[in-house]
Structure 1
């Protein structure tokens, strides 16, 4: 089991990236278009409204880019920063801990997106297809020293 994990990791990162991208896209469309569900205020937020419309626009664009695996690290970095700002600006003033200030989703998104900055797009991504991302290296075999 342990030896199979490195082999599937790049594939798992692709799935992880696409899921995070899809959830981020849904968050953006909910904010901007009140679809698939209306946001907390029950209405769509115009693109030009600060800060909600800007955040929703970033979530929408970054979500699409992450689903496609295009400009993955840049999109994840910008979106991670957006979610960090959202947490500290909107949620943190209501309490010190995310569980008490309803900021869990902002924190989870922020850290998941930051992880994608370091993990990259994974095996299945447009970044890899157009050569923007280095291919995953195969795990090198361990050299063990024999004891005589």
Structure 2
């Protein structure tokens, strides 16, 4: 039997996915389109390394996460891009993210990595088109022992 909160977990995961995807999308839109906020230094020219590419990964990856389409792959690529951004751009400016300005890159890296492992949750296009299996609630979770039947 599921506890009262466990039955809402797929919905909470979906909300987490959509919010993280939207914020990631906004970072990419700001970088590439100067929308919804002005980009620092203006939009990079097409194909400029690394700013245009990171903006494209954020924009496209964020949109895919919002929709729940190719969630695990989009999250994996986004997580890797944020790890590269953190170590390449921020780590040299200090040991801790709060002192080197890399806290958002670090948070995105770990939030996206979590989505790689937990999947899209409910209301994802992956589930609708059959690319993401739905969890079988009749099976016992791996972290809980099977209940013994009384004979």
**CA RMSD of the aligned region, Å?**
1.6
Aligned-partner Cα distance in 2 for 1:71–1:47: 25
Give the TM-score of the pair, scaled to structure 1.
Answer: 0.91
After superposition, give the CA deviation of every residue in 1:51-104 in whole Å (9 maximum; x if it has no partner). 000000011110010000000000000000000000000000111110100100
How far apart, CA to CA, are the structure 2 residues paired with 1:136 and 1:14?
Answer: 14
Which piece of structure 1 moves more, 137-146 or 51-60? 137-146
Which of structure 1's runs of 4+ aligned residues deviate more than 4 A? 139-142
Would you say 1:143 and 2:147 are equivalent positions? yes
- Which residue is equivalent to 1:80? 79
* Structure 1 CA distance for aligned equivalents of residues 47 and 79 of structure 2: 21
- SS state of the match for residue 4, structure 1? coil
Matched positions, count: 144
- Give structure 2 stretches of 5+ with no counterpart: 141-145
SS in 1 for 2:95: coil
**Partner SS for 2:3:** helix
Q: Which residue of 2 aligns with 1:28?
A: 28
Q: Are the aligned partners of 1:6 and 1:139 in contact in 2 as well (CA < 8 Å)?
A: no
Structure 1 segment 49-68 matched on structure 2, within 5 A: 49-68=48-67
CA deviation after TM superposition for structure 1 residue 46, in Å: 2.4
Q: Is the 8 A contact 1:10 1:123 kept in 2?
A: yes
Q: Deviations over 1:27-47 (max 9, x none)?
A: 0000001111123x2411223
In the other structure, the counterpart of 1:37 is 37
**Separation in structure 2 between the aligned mates of residue 57 and residue 139 of structure 1, nearest angstrom:** 41
Gaps of 5+ in 1: none
